[in-house]
Amino acid sequence: MELKEQIDEVVKAIPKGVTLVAVSKTHPADKVMEAYEAGLRIFGESRPQELKAKYEALPKDIRWHMIGHLQTNKVKYIAPFVELIHSVDSERLLDAINKEGWKNGRVIDVLLEIHIAEENSKSGWELDELVKYLDKGDYKLLTNIRIRGLMGIATFTDNTEQVRMEFGRLHDIFTTFKKERFGKDFDTLSMGMTADWQIAVECGANMVRIGSLIFGAREQK
Ligand SMILES: *Cc1c(COP(=O)(O)O)cnc(C)c1O
């Protein structure tokens, strides 16, 4: 199927109120441009240098999201323009983003990534560590970041009940944090990819990150 038709189908399938982040990592800029011409404006990337190169090559009304693991020394590549960083998983990274936000005269929106999958995949905060960090209250001094919500990656499995349980847990945490800690600006729950976005939406996601369903399979590393 043509990219344009594929995009139209995906866009049609996603309910109103759910934001689509088109995950363009590994795909060349001309492919991203084709998706742009088909109407997409929000793209997600997982490597800071690749993200910066595409930002420079492509139209400036694209809204770039960082979705992959981010090292503190690489925040500088994306800080001047990134719209949302989904994958914030440590106090050090929050501090680094805040510092780069300050240098660039920006308030950078971030999501806290929580580890919801089985043990073997290990990105994201453990809930108890995150709660301990938030209870300290230091994050309130980070005036160049704004915590907009949560992100999570479910276990890669055919067991849909397990995926549903993991997303359901993240939704519960999101609701509790919004009520008890963050309030109105805490409005984004990023969960769901090609294999599980429908379950994620059923569990309350309002942002999904979809790559291969739009662009086709990526080359294996
Ligand atoms: C690559 C990636 C995606 C998209 O994965 P697909 O299965 O191709 O949709 C979503 N989220 C994160 C964090 C990713 O790294």
| Ligand 1 pocket member 121 (CB < 6 A) | no
pLDDT in tens, the chain (221 residues): 799 999 999 999 999 999 999 999 999 999 999 999 999 999 999 999 999 999 999 999 999 999 999 999 999 999 999 999 999 999 999 999 999 999 999 999 999 999 999 877 778 999 999 999 999 999 999 999 999 999 999 999 999 999 999 999 999 999 999 999 999 999 999 999 999 999 999 999 999 999 999 999 888 65
Q: Helix 48-57 to helix 29-37 angle, to the nearest 10 degrees?
A: 60
Name residue 152's beta-bridge partners. Answer: 191
Q: Report CA(68)–ligand 1 centroid distance (Å).
A: 8
| Ligand 1 pocket member 23 (CB < 6 A) | yes
214 to 135, 166, 168, 211: CA distances (angstroms): 40, 24, 25, 6
Q: Report CA(141)–ligand 1 centroid distance (Å).
A: 32
| Ligand 1 pocket member 200 (CB < 6 A) | no
Superfamily grouping for domain 3-215: Alanine racemase (3.20.20.10)
Residue whose C-alpha is closest to residue 22's, from 196, 210, 198, 208: 210
Residue 88 to residue 110: CA distance in whole angstroms: 7
Nearest CA to ligand 1 atom 12: 67
| Ligand 1 pocket member 112 (CB < 6 A) | no
Q: Report CA(27)–ligand 1 centroid distance (Å).
A: 13
What's the confidence (pLDDT) of residue 220?
Answer: 67
Q: Report CA(137)–ligand 1 centroid distance (Å).
A: 31
Top mutation candidate among 23, 27, 153 for ligand 1, by most atoms within 8 Å of CB: 23
